[in-house]
Structure 1
Amino acid sequence: MDPESVASDEPPKNTFLADSAWPMSHRTSYIQGSSPLPGPTSADSLSKAVYRNTDLINITFAMSAPYANGDIVAWGSGMTSVYKVSIDNNRTQIIDKIKKTKITSIANATSGAYTVLDKDNVFYVPGQGSLHAYSDSIAGDPTSDIQLLRSLDIPTDALRGSNAEDPIVGINMTYDGYLAIATKRGTIAVVSRDFTEFNYLQLGASDTGEEVSNSIAVDEHGGIYVVTSESMYRVQWTGDKLSLDESDGAWQSTYENGADIQVPGRLGSGSGATPSLMGVGDQDKFVVITDGQLVTNIVLFWRDEIPTDWQPIAAGKNRRIAAEIPVNYGDDSRLLAMSEQSVLVRGYGAVVVSNDYGSTVAQSSNPTLSNLVNGIVVFFSNTRKYAPYGVEKFEWNPATRTLDVAWVNNDISCPNGIPTMSAASNLFYCIGQRDARWNVEALNWDTGESVFFKPISKWFFYNSFYAATQIGPQGGIWTGTITGVTKLSRQ
């Protein structure tokens, strides 16, 4: 892509995030998962993979801005600890690791998976019913130990049930510098970064709420986008309060949530996606998710005001829905097509990867047992029995106001990780598998054709296990794994 095109599709900069290549989960408050930075363009341009053991389940890394000496670090959060890793092409080492004050249960494995690093190099990590802020023990020293600066216990009246029943799931940064969080049963809160201010509202019924199983998106106008087991919401942060009033800009729309459909790999009811925001500047603006149907649909909702001449896409559909198309990877007879990843967005392009594990293992209503089943299936998702295949790109056409299939590639398997793309290199990347060997896959963003793949290893500790594929500041590929961090440097 040309530099002007790269810049024109970039979301507005959130100045309260670290000024870095990847300051938070899904990279920006828009949760697009894409990057303007150049990535690798050939297998030879990537070094051999380097692995470091950190902790169980490492979903994303928050990368710092350069320190005064030029060093950059990545902050990570696992099941039991918070850690800091050096970033450069010559060394990858764990600088420090400290135990979390409270260990997340298996039933709430996503609590602490999503994180944010702010402009002051403070790393925010949710716990089951608390929020924690970490930083360097010596300000400005990238090699110093980690210190816990402060913690906030969520008030009991803001939760529905105990903190184990209603843990924090999602976190983001508003454009006026507040932390936005969402709990499993639908409490949405805005918290000052020093933890002295706490504003909240609750979605759904007063006693049971609605289930939130992924993170949240935020726009520059105070919109906080939350998908629950029942509805897609825009909760409005006015700067003083949270609102569900349409007069403040808030809205709610139902979607095809799949009722109680549960298949292996899904972390909750309804949509398996953190909402992604599409459209910047004068472009049409949407919220993008995949829904909860057995053959999942990609769904676009008008983000701001609905065009006055817009008609519902079908009888009975909410007028807020701009598009709803099955993600069937070119097979109209397909009976199951599931995705647990957020939709990868750049410009008007949106990519979905298949997480259809072909398993008939019944899911349990017990969240601990359900997550154990998910873990077993995802652990073996590079094997012939479970490996999913399929990547599909969709493109919004502003002239016809339709969402169209751009391309399908059914030869590529991205078993369980969150994909990314480089606008500068015009390439899609995921942690894929070929013959059970983990690798980096690269596809042409415009055509879907395979450009290269870089083998990593068959060892289980290279399993991406729900983690994000990230483009580092030197153009390399980073990913969390089931037990650590893997880096392939640009060379």
Structure 2
Amino acid sequence: MLKRSLGLVLAAATLGMTALPAAADGIQLPAVPIPGDVRGTGLEPFLGQPATPHPIAAPDIPQNPFMAPNGSSNLHDDAYQTDAYRGSGPDGKDLAVSSRLQGGLCGSITFDSQGRLVSVCMAPGLSPKLVLLNPHTLATIDTMTLPGKASASFTDVSGGGYFYLDNHNRAVIPTKDGGISVVAIEGDKLVKQLHYDLSAVAGSSGILSALPDWSGRLWFVTGNGVVGTLDMATGAVATHTLGGERIANSLAVDESGGVFIVSDHALYRFDAGPGGEVQVTWRMEYDRGTGQKPGQLSQGSGTTPTLIGSASGPEGGYVAITDNADPKMNVVVVARGKAGPTEVCKQPIFAAGEGADENSLVAVGGDLIAENNYGYKLDEHPLLKGILGGRQPDTTPGVVRVHVDYAHRACSVAWTNTTERVPSVVSKAALGNGLFYTYTHPTASELDYKPGGGLLGAPDAWYLTALDLCTGKRVWSKLAGTGPLYNNHYAPIVIGKDKTAYTGAVGGMVRIADSDD
């Protein structure tokens, strides 16, 4: 009976993975909720207590003039890739959860000038969808099919996994055909304005990510190690190839013209030459370890570079990544100015032989927070495993805040949380209320059941979890959903101006918000 019930639930979800119809003019199509695992009814839906806000002061991040306002432009929040919001997220007061079943994982989520959700949803073997959604109901306002089709891999994020909103309320999106599309948001419509064919330089690996520098020049990277620029006015393209190196993450840009990229061998600063050439300003090799660890997408750093401090400050500001060293990985902080990558400090994190981080470091002022993704793997057939009552693999717990003393060029561990298991989410800090938001997956033995619950065994349970930014201790956890369709699979948490939190999931998108007082 259990298997039959789960089968019906997940069969409905599979139907939802097909293309959904677009909304007619002026009509919003209601969101269909993501089906869950019936075994989740025995779980405690909320653990902990609502937070008392404790704002944290931090310098403002410079605004890239060619991107939408900080906090709304791309999955890492700003051009510095800080993953930190100036405002607040949900405090945990009578939290309400809703979801949207979608034809694919809605990874990057951004906010247009009206606060509506703009996301690219991707599923293996299907064409990605650009969606414009109501932020309160997750209803469809408009959809657009993007060029090309996704590969069969659940971990291929090229061609839409990363995109950004520009200063004209347009989505700039790498596409599966090796191009870059510019789509305007005009009223309630998505309107394609431009498409640049870069297939000749993108190759079979496709364009992974693209961001503009402070002059408006578009920089892009491909999985097979091509770093390029596109003049969006003339269509002129310049490239540089990293021989034998691969790129698995996005890039960061600063106001001095610096573009920061990490390959599976080295951290780079690029600048544009006088004629628009792609120039390597400096290159710093890091310890890439002896192999690809479970939870990582490549052998090497799993982090998009995070920038700290203004480019006009000491040493031109700083840039941080994690390496892949054995037996312990490190947070590595270096000066990022044109003079060269002088190391500030290196801090070992997580237990020996049990550390892997496939997500960008979160910047809290000058400090950095890392999460442990060691052991994460999405099964090739997650829906089938869910039908049979199975769970996704358990991962090694760990979240750590590293304090950086820039004056004395030293790092230390400010706090470590050794209980929260964070399989793969891009976690976020909300400085307005002093909370760190992550997406956790407890083991079966760690789940809390209501009296009499859990008779059918433990489901996959996924929680939005808030930690205190000052101590690392859990403040609260809210059950987001149960079953494989609620697995976020490398999608980020994003936070709207109204404090609502969203995350992509294998089944679509999840929304969690404080209920109205």
Distance 2:193 2:121 in 1: 16
Q: In terms of mean alpha carbon deviation, does 188-197 or 431-440 score higher?
A: 188-197
Change (3 A) 1:231 1:373: farther
Match of 2:209 among 148, 151, 170: 170
1:214 equivalenced with 2:261 (yes/no): no
Provide the residue aligned with 1:131 in structure 2. 180
Provide the residue aligned with 1:183 in structure 2. 222
Distance 1:35 1:439 in 2: 20
Match of 2:354 among 336, 343, 353: 336
Change (3 A) 1:121 1:358: closer
Provide the residue aligned with 2:64 in structure 1. 14
1:449 equivalenced with 2:473 (yes/no): yes
Change (3 A) 1:408 1:375: farther
Provide the residue aligned with 1:152 in structure 2. 196
Distance 1:132 1:54 in 2: 22
> Would the aligned equivalents of 1:301 and 1:321 in 2 still touch at CA under 8 Å?
yes
Match of 2:405 among 397, 406, 409: 397
| Larger RCO of the pair (alpha carbons < 8 Å, separation 6+) | 2
Provide the residue aligned with 2:166 in structure 1. 118
Identify unmatched segments of 5+ residues in structure 2: 1-52, 448-459
Change (3 A) 1:480 1:283: farther
Give, in angstroms, the shift of residue 282 of structure 1.
Answer: 3.5
> Would the aligned equivalents of 2:379 and 2:392 in 1 still touch at CA under 8 Å?
no
Match of 1:81 among 103, 125, 128: 128
1:236 equivalenced with 2:271 (yes/no): yes
Provide the residue aligned with 1:365 in structure 2. none
Give the aligned residue type for 1:420.
Answer: K
Give, in angstroms, the shift of residue 121 of structure 1.
Answer: 1.7
> Would the aligned equivalents of 1:43 and 1:454 in 2 still touch at CA under 8 Å?
no
Distance 2:510 2:132 in 1: 11
**Pairing of 1:51-450 with structure 2 (within 5 A):** 51-66=99-114, 72-79=116-123, 80-89=127-136, 91-106=137-152, 109-111=156-158, 112-128=160-176, 129-136=178-185, 139=186, 141=187, 143-144=188-189, 146-154=190-198, 156=200, 158-159=201-202, 163-164=203-204, 166-194=205-233, 196-204=235-243, 209-238=244-273, 240-244=275-279, 250-259=281-290, 261-280=291-310, 282=313, 285-294=317-326, 295-304=328-337, 320-328=342-350, 331=351, 334-357=352-375, 383=391, 385-434=393-442, 435=447, 436-450=460-474
- For residues 384-430 of structure 1, the C-alpha deviation after alignment (integer angstroms, 9 at most, x for no partner) is 84233110110111332211101001111122111001011111001
- Pairwise CA RMSD of aligned residues? 2.8
Give the aligned residue type for 1:288.
Answer: A
Identify unmatched segments of 5+ residues in structure 1: 308-318, 360-370
Distance 1:455 1:53 in 2: 17
- Matched residue of 1:301: which SS? strand
Change (3 A) 1:148 1:210: same
Distance 1:472 1:234 in 2: 31
| TM-score, with length taken from structure 2 | 0.78
Provide the residue aligned with 2:31 in structure 1. none
Give the aligned residue type for 2:184.
Answer: S
Give, in angstroms, the shift of residue 210 of structure 1.
Answer: 1.4
| TM-score, with length taken from structure 1 | 0.81
Distance 1:52 1:77 in 2: 12
Change (3 A) 1:374 1:442: farther
Give the aligned residue type for 1:82.
Answer: K
- For residues 357-399 of structure 1, the C-alpha deviation after alignment (integer angstroms, 9 at most, x for no partner) is 188xxxxxxxxxxx976989x999x958423311011011133
Give, in angstroms, the shift of residue 199 of structure 1.
Answer: 2.5
Give the aligned residue type for 1:322.
Answer: V
- Matched residue of 1:244: which SS? strand
- Matched residue of 2:485: which SS? helix
Give, in angstroms, the shift of residue 344 of structure 1.
Answer: 1.1
Give the aligned residue type for 1:264.
Answer: P
Provide the residue aligned with 1:311 in structure 2. none
- Count of aligned pairs: 436
> Would the aligned equivalents of 2:179 and 2:199 in 1 still touch at CA under 8 Å?
no
> Would the aligned equivalents of 1:88 and 1:474 in 2 still touch at CA under 8 Å?
no
Give, in angstroms, the shift of residue 461 of structure 1.
Answer: 1.6
Give the aligned residue type for 1:304.
Answer: G
Identity of aligned residues (%): 23
Distance 2:107 2:133 in 1: 17
Give, in angstroms, the shift of residue 470 of structure 1.
Answer: 0.9
